[in-house]
Amino acid sequence: MKPAKFKYVRAETADHAVEQLCSADPSAKILAGGQSLIPALSARIITTSLLLDIMRCPGLDAVSQTKDQITIGAACRQSRMEASAIVQESIPLLSEALGWVAMPQVRSRGTVVGCLAQANAGGEVPVVSLALDAQLNLLSRGGVAQRMSAKDVYAAETGARLPPQTLIASASFRKRAANEGWGFSEVQLRRGHVALVCCAATLVLDENGRVGSVTIAIGGLTANPYRADRAEKVLLGGAAGDDQIIGDAAHVASDEHPWPARTDLHATGAFRSKAAVAAVVRALTDARARCSTYQPGNTGATNGRA
Amino acid sequence: MAEPDTGFQNTAWENSGDSQTALRLIVNEKEVHALVPDRLLLSDFLRDYLGLTALKVSCGEGACGGCTVVVDGEPARSCTLLAVQTDGSRIVTLEGINAPQGLNQVQRLFQQSHALQCGYCTPGLLMTVHCMMERGLEPNSDQVAHYLSGHLCRCTGYRNILTAVRRALAGEILPEKPEENG
Amino acid sequence: MAEILPPPVRPARSYRYAGKSIRRGEDPDLLRGKGGFLADLPAPDSAELFVVRSTQPHAIVKEIRTGPALRSPGVIACLTASDLGLIDDALPCLDMIPGTLDVRQRVMATDRVRYVGQPIAVVVATNRYLAEDAAELVQIDYETLPAITGHLAATSPGAPLLYPEFGTNIVYQTTQRDGNPDFAPRDGDIVFRRRFEFHRQTAVPMENRGVIAKLIDDGERLHVESTTQIPNTLHSALALAFGMDAQHIKVTAPRLGGGFGCKEMVYPEEIIVPAVVRKLKRPIRWSEDRREYFASAVHGREETVDAEAVLAPDGEFVALRLTGWANIGAAFGLVPNSPITAMGAMVRGPYRIPNLDARMFSVVTNKVPLNVLRGAGAPQAALLMERLLDEAARILKMDRAEIRRRNLIQPDALPLDRGQTDFAGAGRIIYDEADYPRCLDAALKLADYENLEKERALAAHNGKLLGMGVSMYVEITAVGPYENARIRLQPDGTVVLFSSIVPMGQGSETTQRQLVAEELGIPIEQVSVRQGDTDEVPDAIGTFASRGAAVGGAVARLASRELIKEILKQAGAQFGCASDQLSWEDGCLVGPGIIDESIPMSEIPGRLASRRNDSVPQAIEANFRLDVAHPSYAYAAHIAVVEIDPQTGHIEIPRYAVAHDCGKVANPLLVEGQIVGGVVQGIGQILREKLHYDPSGYPQTRAMMDYVLPGCGDLPVDFQITHMETPTRFNPFGMRGAGEGGCTGAHAAIGTAVADALRDYDIAVDGSGPFTPTWIIEALNRPRHT
């Protein structure tokens, strides 16, 4: 389990990395944390002619914010973001989801943006990116910048659909609204193992406890995550305190998977479909509890079981 | 700048056509310069070039924790890192936290608690425990299991490991020689 | 190696260590990262060997082209079977009985491959990276043959044959009979049949395999270092393979990072590496990586067993009929037929069941060869028996504890002859002294069996399905046929034991040091152990079947007694008296009227030297061969409480209780470690671990993340163990083995607990699952019989 030969270059700047990508053959890859890439290279599942290490590029480890968004640079490590006060405050959904990514000893090296690029089945960060309508900020040749929505990036059944020879310089996540609740849940065979299914959800309630806005994203059921658009429509305007409504929406969310449910060594598609329902219920229930306008008992049944 | 060390087994790479990159880092408080093949894994650099054979390569994919070392203050897998990625980093291995002779406090608690059987997973585990101690984790917090979930042990069933780690986090100090019973 | 402190001036008291929880002297090295595992051993000037393995499950090998690989940078050689210069290329199999077909594995494939992972060629290069590069360039032309993976399908007419010359895929069969095997049910007897499926597993020790070989003594001798539990067996195999005198070969096993039976094997690589050394005349190292481990290290447990039980209406099991088939993979491992043989031999466990007719078969398929894995067939046997008991209880509407009590062999019926067996090393199965009923009751009490139904109702109220598995097993341990040990009082006054027991986590070094120190009456710090070296113990059996403490420890004690005798004899000669005028007390040589003061062990070489007017002290040595006529039989009751979430399929184990009897315990701390470790391993095996093959014979489980081992969250929350210590007549010190039972008990306890939790659902829980969340959810959602 030793990698095949490749050349390694420490990119001096993000532009330099892109320059190198463009002049190299298509197998060249950006190297950030490498926690997915290096094992795949060791197993010789993939090969590459060139690895471009972007971890020292100025500015890529920055976390910046505007009124509405937090932007996380490509060199920001998962452990640092998990512990970051800004992230915990403004994108708590991401902070919570990061606690489920692999194990602490992997998060010390892996990056948030790296997860988005790898698009591993069941990946937590891609799921969150869909739930938060994240934008990926790409850099291509000559300093040209473009944005892609996470939705477009994960539009196909597998893989991150990125233009060739571009670098994801950063990812932007919208900040939590004042009265917005969030929830993340995951089903694993063993703590620290992969996600069989996971769900990220956000929820805003109006003053009557009815759903004002909701996002639900499901990962692991299919290779790429998806937004449960139909379930969201079902929930809009509904009484968030009614567990029946939450449960029904969860079934819709699980059923609306746009690609076949995955069967692999760890679980069948049928199992994942069922587990996804429970994951959605848990994520929505947590989100509801965190809505600052939610009061249990005020709006319908409060049978809290997932 | 001093000449890079050639390291062990440099001749083993002769004529391979591998591109190499200069590497300068601190390992167990000592500055190391080397010129290494780009694809050399950090685990192999530490074990074969520097002779730091405490860490073990068991799964080769970052899943089991046997190769765990501390990189820039955080526990990390050396088998999922290239040596060249760690330029400028500070790395600590088990050899770097061993007492000059005998056992440190955590190790004594491990012995006392019978928290190792074959001992193969132990060096990596001790590096995570080192970080847990530095971070002052509470012995009964669920963070303990969370950190330890990064380590697989096939022998002990984990019970004595959890005991030893909790005792260490609680600040227990053992006398020099282990007790026979109890 | 223990730290040797200077001995005290005069020992003030006897040193007693047997039965004490002495902390391990091997721990400091291990904790400091100086464990001396094979991968850590210096191998200066050695080249790296990498094995090119078959990518086909079943094929004729038409051509192997090594040219492109030879031209790859750093490559020293690229070799195939015919380059190895072997006299005999069959790997040993130790459990072939008369009538067994010879499907021993060949060291390297020649014209045919029979499993994905089988060695076909090797690349030798200056380092592992370059060797892997070159291996990708080796070109192999295969002519694909149809493959077969199912053992039952492999017995059907028309199934592809792995060895056409034999005309069958059934290569081994044995019967186990007792009482009246042709017993016919009487009026009123209840008869029922179940089929049990046991899935394929692998040991996954944290340390992968490895071999380092070199020529020593000016090229006269071959030194092979290997991660083996059985260095002496490897030694004989090498001598045979090369047609060499055994004296010209030395095998050493360093400390192992776990074995669990997968290193109780003579592997192709262990012959290939030395063969390449002989050919190239340079040191060679092979280090297995984890993907190779899954591709080629031996597998375990896969069997199907049909059982027919005959019960009297009062719950007494009167007869048991079994037919069982083991899926032993493509060729024989070292002891591939033993697990299925153990099914017939040990299925009855502690239950009387006077009439038994078991027929067991080994079937070859296009999978990796099968071998023993911790428990060696006992996990499957115990699970089967306990499920039959629970079924019987259900049919008769009897309490599950009661039906067991009714069938347990009573203490006054022991020892009990259970019949001759083909199980290697067992001979005639004679159960030794035991108190099975007391053991069961102790476990039931620990597990609060009385309140089970209350607990079940409470869990149901919370939407969970709770079950309790009640199980017992009897296992063959401490097998013979013999074991040797040598012991030496060194010139410096310390004592060294030379043992064949290879340490792999069981703490054999400390256990043996305790027992030697106890026997000699000296401080344990003065005793060290050297193990796993065929030069030092040329004739030995090895480390498996839970024999390290019971047999290894026993022979160490007996060797110690021989040492004392030898000391008395030599001292008698030096002091000019009969040796019976001297004696040994409290670790000292005493002789009233002959020797003024007692001489402690550590001073004896010096004192005897000065009596000879010799400035150089000499060593005094002794050895002992312990012939083991009968194995001893450890037993236990394991009780598991499981809680199943029917929504998620997740299984928790809130409580686990063990009552365990391994005879006289040398070190309670270490025994308890073996039980806990074995149980958690068993939990992993029955809840999640499985080796998957697709129907065409391609393995799907290829890396660590594919095979879900238990983690620290899988330890039962409340885990209690109580010990009984019934000495056994079959061991000179009353010891039985303790290393494997945890695994056996966990299979039986958890398998039955899951069945109990699902008892209202008419789900057949007949086998080892694994009971993954998918398994549970699918079972719950299956249409019911009305």
Task: Tell me whether A145 touches chain C (CB under 8 Å).
Answer: no
Q: At residue C397, does pLDDT exceed 90?
A: yes
Q: At residue C557, does pLDDT exceed 50?
A: yes
pLDDT at C81: 97
pLDDT digits 0-9 by tens, C79-111: 999 999 999 999 999 999 999 999 999 999 999
Chain B nearest-CA distance from A75, in A, is 13
Q: Is there a cis peptide before residue C369, judged by omega within 30 degrees of 0?
A: no
What is the number of structural domains in chain B?
2
Chain A residues near residue B87 by CB distance under 8 angstroms: 10
pLDDT digits 0-9 by tens, C515-549: 999 999 999 999 999 999 999 999 888 888 888 88
For residue C286, give the DSSP letter.
E
Quick check: is B13 in a domain? no
Task: Tell me whether B51 touches chain C (CB under 8 Å).
Answer: no
Q: Which residue has the tokens 């000592």?
A: B30
Contact A191 B85 (CB under 8 A): no
pLDDT at A282: 97
Tokens of C75: 């490559």
Residue B117 and residue B90 share a domain: no
Q: Which residue has the tokens 């002091």?
A: C575
Task: Tell me whether B70 touches chain A (CB under 8 Å).
Answer: no
Taking the C-alpha atoms of residue C426 and residue C629, their distance in angstroms, rounded to an integer, is 9
| Confidence band for A305, pLDDT divided at 50, 70 and 90 | very low
Q: Residue C33 in contact with residue B123, Cβ under 8 Å? A: yes
Residue B27 and residue B65 share a domain: yes
| CATH class of this structure's domain A63-173 | alpha beta
pLDDT at C629: 86
pLDDT digits 0-9 by tens, B126-163: 999 999 999 999 999 999 999 999 999 999 999 999 99
pLDDT at B180: 55
Residue B89 and residue B115 share a domain: no
pLDDT at B3: 47
Q: How far is CA B17 from the centre of its chain?
A: 31
Q: Name the strand (E) or helix (H) holding A97.
A: helix A92-98
Give the percent of chain C with pLDDT over 70. 98
Residue B129 and residue B89 share a domain: no
User: Which residue in C682, A189, C254 sits closest to B154, CA to CA?
Assistant: C682
Chain B nearest-CA distance from C738, in A, is 14
Average pLDDT (A246-266) is: 98
Q: At residue C513, does pLDDT exceed 50?
A: yes
Task: Tell me whether B57 touches chain C (CB under 8 Å).
Answer: yes
Taking the C-alpha atoms of residue A190 and residue C462, their distance in angstroms, rounded to an integer, is 23
pLDDT at B40: 98
What residues 115-154 of chain C have any CB closer than 8 A to a CB of chain A?
A: 128-129, 132-133, 136
Taking the C-alpha atoms of residue A281 and residue A275, their distance in angstroms, rounded to an integer, is 10
Q: Name the strand (E) or helix (H) holding C749.
A: helix C741-757
pLDDT at A131: 98
H helices, E strands: number in chain A: 12, 12
pLDDT digits 0-9 by tens, A143-202: 999 999 999 999 999 999 999 999 999 999 999 999 999 999 999 999 999 999 999 999
Q: Residue C700 in contact with residue A265, Cβ under 8 Å? A: yes
Q: At residue C11, does pLDDT exceed 80?
A: no
| Confidence band for B182, pLDDT divided at 50, 70 and 90 | very low
Give the percent of chain B with pLDDT over 70. 91
- Could you report how far apart the first and last alpha carbons of chain A are, in Å? 43
Chain B nearest-CA distance from A199, in A, is 20
CATH number at residue B37: 3.10.20.30
Q: At residue B4, does pLDDT exceed 50?
A: no
Average pLDDT (B4-17) is: 66
Contact A106 B79 (CB under 8 A): no
Taking the C-alpha atoms of residue C653 and residue C690, their distance in angstroms, rounded to an integer, is 20
Average pLDDT (C433-437) is: 97
| Mutual angle of helices C508-520 and C554-575, in 10-degree steps | 40
| Confidence band for C55, pLDDT divided at 50, 70 and 90 | very high
Taking the C-alpha atoms of residue A182 and residue C166, their distance in angstroms, rounded to an integer, is 66
Chain C residues near residue A191 by CB distance under 8 angstroms: 711-713
Contact B80 A109 (CB under 8 A): yes
Least confident among A203-212, A263-272, A286-295: A286-295
Residue B81 and residue B31 share a domain: yes
Among residues B43, B64, B97, the one where a domain terminates is B97
**Three-state SS for C756?**
helix
> What are the angstrom distances between the C-alpha of A40 and each of A4, C21, C136, C702?
11, 45, 16, 13
Quick check: is B135 in a domain? yes
Sort strands A195-205 and B30-37 into parallel, antiparallel or unpaired.
unpaired
Task: Tell me whether B84 touches chain A (CB under 8 Å).
Answer: yes
Taking the C-alpha atoms of residue C74 and residue A79, their distance in angstroms, rounded to an integer, is 40
pLDDT at C4: 45
pLDDT digits 0-9 by tens, B28-80: 999 999 999 999 999 999 999 999 999 999 999 999 999 999 999 999 999 99
pLDDT digits 0-9 by tens, A146-158: 999 999 999 999 9
Q: Which domains does chain C have, with CATH numbers?
A: 27-35+480-627 (3.30.365.10), 47-145+208-255+263-296 (3.90.1170.50), 383-476+632-781 (3.30.365.10)
Q: At residue C5, does pLDDT exceed 80?
A: no
CATH number at residue B126: 1.10.150.120
Contact C712 B162 (CB under 8 A): yes
The minimal CB distance from A267 to the residues C129, C690, C774 is found for C774
Average pLDDT (C457-485) is: 94
Type of residue found at C179: G
Provide the edge-to-edge strand list for the sheet that holds A211-219: A180-188, A195-205, A211-219, A226-227
| Confidence band for A292, pLDDT divided at 50, 70 and 90 | confident
Residue B109 and residue B87 share a domain: no
Best mutation site among C693, C707, C774 for testing chain A: the one with the most A CBs within 10 Å? C774
**Three-state SS for C378?**
helix
Q: At residue C648, does pLDDT exceed 80?
A: yes
Side-chain-side CA neighbours of C241 within 13 Å: the count stands at 31
Whole-number mean pLDDT of chain C? Answer: 95
pLDDT at C6: 47
Beta strand segments in chain B, E: 20-27, 30-37, 68-71, 74-77, 90-92
Give the percent of chain A with pLDDT over 70. 97
Q: Residue C426 in contact with residue C377, Cβ under 8 Å? A: no
Quick check: is B9 in a domain? no
- Helix/strand/coil (H, E, C) string of C88-130? CCECCCCCCCCCCCCCECECCCCCEECCCCCEEEEEEECCHHH
User: Which residue in C779, C125, C250 sits closest to C534, CA to CA?
Assistant: C250
| Confidence band for C737, pLDDT divided at 50, 70 and 90 | confident
| Confidence band for B179, pLDDT divided at 50, 70 and 90 | low
Q: Where in chain A is the domain with CATH 3.30.390.50?
A: 181-290
Residue B114 and residue B89 share a domain: no
Among residues B35, B65, B97, the one where a domain terminates is B97
Contact C291 A305 (CB under 8 A): no
For residue C639, give the DSSP letter.
E
Domain A7-53 has CATH 3.30.43.10: yes
Chain C residues near residue B149 by CB distance under 8 angstroms: 711-713
Q: b/e per residue, C39-65, with b = 16+ CB within 10 A?
A: bbeebeebbbbbbbbbebbbbebeebe
Average pLDDT (A212-235) is: 98
Q: Where in chain A is the domain with CATH 3.30.465.10?
A: 63-173
Whole-complex ipTM: 0.96
Q: At residue C338, does pLDDT exceed 60?
A: yes
Residue range of the domain that includes B153: 105-169
Residue B148 and residue B118 share a domain: yes
pLDDT digits 0-9 by tens, A19-74: 999 999 999 999 999 999 999 999 999 999 999 999 999 999 999 999 999 999 99
Average pLDDT (A96-123) is: 98
Taking the C-alpha atoms of residue C287 and residue B60, their distance in angstroms, rounded to an integer, is 12
pLDDT at B10: 57
**Three-state SS for C390?**
helix
Tokens of C692: 């998957």
Type of residue found at B61: E
Beta strand segments in C549-631, E: 583-585, 588-590, 599-600, 620-627
Best mutation site among C124, C658, C712 for testing chain B: the one with the most B CBs within 10 Å? C712
Tokens of B67: 């190769």
Quick check: is B83 in a domain? yes
Chain C nearest-CA distance from A123, in A, is 15
Side-chain-side CA neighbours of C238 within 13 Å: the count stands at 32
pLDDT at C783: 77
pLDDT at A23: 96
Q: Which residue has the tokens 């934008």?
A: A135
Q: What angle do CA C462, C465, C470 make, to 5 degrees?
A: 130
| Confidence band for C7, pLDDT divided at 50, 70 and 90 | very low
Best mutation site among A47, A187, A221, A274 for testing chain C: the one with the most C CBs within 10 Å? A274
Q: At residue C10, does pLDDT exceed 60?
A: no
Q: Which fold has domain A181-290?
A: Enolase-like; domain 1 (3.30.390)
pLDDT at A49: 98
Using CA atoms of C668, C672, C674, C680 in order, give the dihedral in degrees to the nearest 10: 180
